[in-house]
Amino acid sequence: IEALNPFLSKGWELVNTSNSPDPESGFFNDHKIKPNITVYSNKKPSNDNLCRSCDMETFIEVKVDADCDGFDLDIDGLEKNTGLACDTRGQLVTYFNAMQASQYRTHGFGILLFGRQCRLLRHTRSGIEVTTPFSYASTNHPHLQNFFWRLSHASPTLRGIDDTFEAAVNHQASDLLKARGQPLWRVRIGDRYFFVSTPFTRNHHYPVGRGTRCFVVVDCLTMELCVLKDTWRVAGYHREGEVYQRLHEKSVRNIAEILAEGDVAGSSHSCGSFDSNWEVPSGSTIREHIHYRIVLDVVGEPLSAFKSTWELNKVMLNVVESHHDAVIKAGVHHRDVSEGNIIIVRKHAPPVGYLINWELSKYDEDDGQRVYEKTGTLQFMAARLLSDDPVARTVGDDLESFMLVYLWIAVLYASNDMSAIQRGQALEMFDSRNPIFRELCMSSGHTTPYNYRLRSTFLKAILMKLMKNFSFRYSAPPMESPAEDHEHEQNRQKVETHDFMIQALEQGLRNEEWKAIADPAEEQKWTVSLLRDSRKKRKSDCTEYDEVFAKRRKHWEEKGPIQECSEAVEDEIYSDEEEE
């Protein structure tokens, strides 16, 4: 610390935080960070903690043993495979993750000292860039000293601060956002400005990937509430605003209107693209990301906030209709149907379900495989897509995802007479990567929802009817006669179109007796089986789905049922955040 202080700009400081974990940094598996040295600029501290990831400019991790270097000299074997190396990389990732999760950043820097050697690191949404090792004690090559001088004298933009978030004061906006006492920012998208405070999603807690933050925002012009989605979109996919424009041109039902959208300008707002001066490992999965924002006109409620199971059925009908129109009228395939991508919009009477988050969608005319081999949310992907064998995606796969969403919501939020253990066992199928479990669920047909012991006989009847149709996707033909085989094939083809699902959902809506029943969503208690609970997980196994449900279980144990809407599974790319 004393040796580097002379190279820092006035007001900057290096602080020993090796024994002072940041209590507010548990973004990734609740791990609290405590780098050996934390570096701060001359800005006013956000709190009284010695280690503050929300203020951190960079960090220094010190390893006495040279074997603790997390990287190798061979570019194709850059990630050293020793236990010490893996532990070092894990530490570095959690530090970077805490920085980017608690700040508005485009990138961040870090320093690793091991023995007498040093590496400089730069983290982006695409991954981490590292230098070759150099001696930090060498007077002939003062790279470390030069780095700190340049960093502390650089502009906020060059240091990785996203200066498109401008600090603002507006009491009316703070009141509308219920954010009094919290930071308020002004953000520009196109030629419009919006006030934002705290995101209501958590996808930006992942170290890499799209890092989506969603905010309820206030339009600076109209002072009305709307929703801002801030994400690092994947290069090679259509801009979500472009997709929405195509959908509206074809009069697709039940989708939001765009207020503003566009890529964020500036060289710092893209990452993952490297010129010939860079060495990139062969077979690299590094992806190019572009910072993007879109503002939609509706502030919806999660699907788990339904006021009655009849209303739940109506919302499911609305989003299947939206998907139908997108495919048939606009030639657009959503490809990421999930509970988190369906909202209830109550500005209509009765409320309407909207299908949102079209950023991974594909057009009929798009040729070839794109960046990701599989897209979707793990818990709601069609069983056949979980197989290691590549298969062409069909409309039926998205329809199966709708069915899985409906089943998941019924288990967790509709009143039923299952025990907590039975409910937990039913939920495990959604969290499994093993396609056999999901195939068994779907091929069991009407017996799957029958075993949920739902109190609403109307909801049970709809689910059983739909599942009887879906069972033909995975059940074998009877092989008894050509006529029966032909009938089985016709039933299998039926679930590749929207008609059967729309007809069944519409039939349920016409039931006035069901419509008159007030049976709102209520999160049901559930328990993880001993086999699952005792299984030791790697960090990559601990998905956000696990974390959300772990918090639900803890809340049940301490305070009883959760009454407000819990945050649901976020829409993330299966082969991206789940795997990396």
Amino acid at 412: L
Contacts by 46-50, CB closer than 8 A, 24 or more apart:
49/20, 49/22, 49/23, 49/24, 50/15, 50/17, 50/20
Q: Specify the pLDDT at position 27.
A: 83
How far is it, in rounded angstroms, from Cα 136 to Cα 145? 8
How far is it, in rounded angstroms, from Cα 144 to Cα 472? 64
pLDDT at 497 over 50: yes
Q: Are residues 224 and 122 in the same domain?
A: no
Q: Are residues 195 and 323 in the same domain?
A: no
Exposed / middle / buried, residue 3 (Cβ in 10 Å: 0-12, 13-18, 19+): exposed
Residue 551 confidence class, pLDDT cut points 50, 70, 90? very low
Q: Are residues 473 and 489 in the same domain?
A: yes
Q: Specify the pLDDT at position 236.
A: 87
pLDDT at 567 over 50: no
Q: Are residues 135 and 174 in the same domain?
A: no
Residue 372 confidence class, pLDDT cut points 50, 70, 90? low
pLDDT at 540 over 80: no
Average pLDDT of 522-527? 90
Across 359-410, the runs of DSSP E, i.e. the strands, are: 362-363
Pull the structure tokens for residue 418.
Answer: 């299952």
Q: Are residues 373 and 292 in the same domain?
A: no
Q: On the CB side of 175, how many CA atoms lie within 13 Å of its CA?
A: 4
**For all residues of the chain together, what is the average pLDDT?**
87
Q: On the CB side of 329, how many CA atoms lie within 13 Å of its CA?
A: 14
Q: Are residues 12 and 113 in the same domain?
A: yes
Residue 373 confidence class, pLDDT cut points 50, 70, 90? low
Q: Are residues 334 and 428 in the same domain?
A: yes
Count each helix (H run) and each strand (E run) in the chain, helices first: 16, 20
Q: Which of 196, 195, 213 is nearest to 204 (CA)?
A: 213
Q: Are residues 440 and 340 in the same domain?
A: yes
Q: Specify the pLDDT at position 139.
A: 80
pLDDT at 480 over 90: no
Q: Which of 237, 241, 243, 244 is nearest to 210 (CA)?
A: 237
Residue 205 confidence class, pLDDT cut points 50, 70, 90? confident
pLDDT digits (tens, 9 = 90+) for 251-282: 999 999 999 999 999 999 999 988 888 888 87
Exposed / middle / buried, residue 513 (Cβ in 10 Å: 0-12, 13-18, 19+): exposed
pLDDT at 573 over 80: no
Residue 533 confidence class, pLDDT cut points 50, 70, 90? very low
How far is it, in rounded angstroms, from Cα 429 to Cα 413? 16
Q: Are residues 457 and 430 in the same domain?
A: yes
Residues of the domain holding 422: 301-578
Residue 159 confidence class, pLDDT cut points 50, 70, 90? very high
Q: Specify the pLDDT at position 552.
A: 42
pLDDT at 85 over 50: yes
Give me the number of domains the chain comprises: 3
pLDDT digits (tens, 9 = 90+) for 169-183: 999 999 999 998 889
pLDDT at 92 over 50: yes
Residue 349 confidence class, pLDDT cut points 50, 70, 90? confident
Average pLDDT of 373-396? 86
Q: Are residues 289 and 378 in the same domain?
A: no
Final residue in a domain of this structure, among 296, 327, 349? 296
pLDDT digits (tens, 9 = 90+) for 320-338: 999 999 999 999 999 999 9
Look up residue 575 and give its DSSP letter: I
pTM score, whole prediction: 0.85
Element (H, E) at 120: strand 117-124
Residue pair 348/576 in contact by the 8 Å Cβ criterion = no
CATH number of the CATH domain containing 75: 3.90.1570
How far is it, in rounded angstroms, from Cα 8 to Cα 12? 6
Q: Specify the pLDDT at position 477.
A: 81
Examine residue 243 and state whether it is found in any structural domain, yes or no.
no
